[in-house]
Amino acid sequence: MPLALYDTWSRTVRPFTSILVGKVGMYCCGPTVYDYAHIGNLRTYVFEDILRRALTRNGYEVRHVVNITDVGHLTSDADEGEDKMEKGSRRAGKSAWAIARSFTEAFVADWRALNLLEPTVWSRATDHIAEQIAFIRELERAGYVYRTSDGLYFDTGKQDDYGFLARLDRAGLQAGKRVAVGDKKNITDFALWKFSPPDITRQMEWDSPWGRGFPGWHIECSAMSAKYLGHWFDLHCGGEDHIAVHHSNEIAQTQAAHGTRLANFWMHGHFLTLDSHTKMSKSSGDFIRLQTLQNRNIDAIAYRYLCLTAHYRSKLHFSWASLDAAQIALNRLRHLYSGWPDGGRIDPDFVARFNVEVDEDLNLPRALAVLWELVKSPLPPATLRATVDNFDSVLGLGLRDWKPLVSDIPENIQVLLSEREQARAKKDWAKADDIRKTLTARGWRVEDSKEGQRLIGITTGATDIGHE
């Protein structure tokens, strides 16, 4: 069965075929770096990482572009309020540039901790001001731009199908007018370029043919995706909140200037929710970071595992209990896996079943169920290891690289290990062998190398398992 993906544009799961044979262009809206990412944001990047790995498994070479929004995202999606970067700068008492740099670094650290594959291109909005200005000029030439007292706006009234991605009720919106229109012609019009206020010197501002100022938020993604992927590429992703405004506006811009709806597939990850069932939002200041989990001795990969337990198109309700359960399941898998020897062959039936789940719109909860069925099957340990390895190219749990932390090893086992180290130092090989047998009997496998002894993990049926 070929890979099939849900496309928000058509509201259907349809077979995926790439525009160019064997190659996929994928653009993912990245973070606004005025604060740390919260674990809700990170859920969306885990979904996109799984998508990328599934595409690679299906034989595609993926060009993956992620932008960093470091200017232009205003506190209100209606293009009002303050630039989030300038606000973050005031709050922290540091320059907007310093804020952008340090939160970008923190974001990339979270990215790596979650074992997300490095994008082909990280593209920063402030590195692409010229491209954004050039794009606005194209829109101007096509007749979609008008000027107000505070900036240049895109005239959505000129597009009959504006907002199709969100199935927007434009007539209803216009009649209700709950959002202030200001100088705008239509409620849905959005800023392409904002002028710096005459009495304030902004930290981030540039000259343009229309006056000093800064780009609107949506133009960066149309301009940067065009630069790195062209005007018509395979996949555009983000969180579900982007459907109504940000992605609708990106489509409007590219359609106006280049006549395409930008991407063949539009894919959206659903939200991680907290107890009140409200969305987790950075702007509310009340959010959980990856570091918050790590401070509670829960590792980043356990959060990744938790994300795999829910389909990307359902809400995932966060609780500490579910995260603890994910950590326990992950530890169990790690211990089992590390006790199995290398050198086996994959089991083709299990791989085929796993592929069916992944290819059916990334059904990772069901793919995980196949994994646990495999793990509990009577197949030889080397086959289990080879097959789980194969699955991990999509799951991204990094099982092969995992080493037990000292904190994972029970104290009695640690005592035996240090006694064995002393015996080895004294070249008392008989004693070292005896202790090895004791360790194996308790389920802990130890290997010797030039660098010293190395605890590999546990053998199946062990009794002393750290987190069990």
40 vs 457, which CB is nearer to ligand AMP?
Answer: 40
**Which of 63, 185, 279, 424 lies at the binding interface for ligand AMP (CB under 6 A)?**
279
Residue 314 CB, shortest distance to ligand AMP, in Å, is 12
Binding-site partner at residue 370 among Zn ion, ligand AMP, none, CB < 5 to 8 Å by type: none
Report how far residue 463's alpha carbon sits from residue 468's, in angstroms, rounded to the nearest whole number.
9
Report how far residue 113's alpha carbon sits from residue 299's, in angstroms, rounded to the nearest whole number.
9
Residue 29 CB, shortest distance to Zn ion, in Å, is 3
| Residue 44 makes contact with ligand AMP by CB under 6 A | yes
Contact stretch for Zn ion (CB under 5 A) within 25-33, 139-147, 350-358, 422-430: 25-33
Least Cα distance to 26 among 56, 80, 66, 72 occurs for 66
Binding-site partner at residue 8 among Zn ion, ligand AMP, none, CB < 5 to 8 Å by type: none
Backbone angles phi, psi at 341, to 5 degrees: -80, 155
Contact stretch for Zn ion (CB under 5 A) within 28-36, 82-90, 117-125, 385-393: 28-36
Q: Are strands 61-68 and 121-124 parallel, antiparallel or unpaired?
A: parallel
| Residue 271 makes contact with ligand AMP by CB under 6 A | yes
Q: How many chain residues bind Zn ion (CB under 5 A)? A: 2
Q: Which two tokens stand for residue 294?
A: 């790590």
Residue 188 CB, shortest distance to Zn ion, in Å, is 17
H or E element in which residue 25 lies: strand 23-28
Q: How many residues are there in the chain?
A: 468
| Interface map 377-406 toward Zn ion (x if CB under 5 A) | ------------------------------
Binding-site partner at residue 221 among ligand AMP, Zn ion, none, CB < 5 to 8 Å by type: Zn ion
Contact 25, 234 (CB under 8 A): yes
How close are the terminal C-alpha atoms of the chain, in Å?
38
**Which of 99, 272, 290, 301 lies at the binding interface for ligand AMP (CB under 6 A)?**
272
Binding-site partner at residue 41 among Zn ion, ligand AMP, none, CB < 5 to 8 Å by type: ligand AMP
Binding-site partner at residue 271 among ligand AMP, Zn ion, none, CB < 5 to 8 Å by type: ligand AMP
107 vs 350, which CB is nearer to ligand AMP?
Answer: 107
**Which of 87, 128, 202, 242 lies at the binding interface for ligand AMP (CB under 6 A)?**
242
Report how far residue 366's alpha carbon sits from residue 1's, in angstroms, rounded to the nearest whole number.
16
Report how far residue 154's alpha carbon sits from residue 191's, in angstroms, rounded to the nearest whole number.
6
Query: Which segments of 37-188 are extended strands (E)?
Result: 61-68, 74-76, 80-83, 121-124, 145-147, 151-154
| Residue 221 makes contact with Zn ion by CB under 5 A | yes
| Residue 238 makes contact with ligand AMP by CB under 6 A | yes
| Residue 43 makes contact with ligand AMP by CB under 6 A | yes
H or E element in which residue 291 lies: helix 290-295
Contact 72, 214 (CB under 8 A): yes
In 10 A of CB 71, how many CB atoms? Answer: 29
**Which of 3, 24, 26, 29 lies at the binding interface for ligand AMP (CB under 6 A)?**
29
82 vs 373, which CB is nearer to ligand AMP?
Answer: 82
Binding-site partner at residue 25 among ligand AMP, Zn ion, none, CB < 5 to 8 Å by type: none
**Which of 3, 24, 29, 416 lies at the binding interface for Zn ion (CB under 5 A)?**
29
Q: Which two tokens stand for residue 405?
A: 């932390």
Residue 100: helix, strand or coil by DSSP? helix
CA atoms within 13 A on the CB side of 108: 14
Q: Which residues of 136-169 are buried (b: 16+ CB within 10 A; e: fewer)?
A: bebbbeeebbbeeebbbbbbbbebeebbebeebe
**Which of 32, 253, 331, 383 lies at the binding interface for ligand AMP (CB under 6 A)?**
32
Report how far residue 165's alpha carbon sits from residue 251's, in angstroms, rounded to the nearest whole number.
9
282 vs 420, which CB is nearer to ligand AMP?
Answer: 282
| Residue 41 makes contact with ligand AMP by CB under 6 A | yes
Residue 30 CB, shortest distance to Zn ion, in Å, is 8
Binding residues vs ligand AMP (CB under 6 A): 29, 31-32, 40-41, 43-44, 69, 238-239, 241-242, 269, 271-272, 279-280, 282
Binding residues vs Zn ion (CB under 5 A): 29, 221
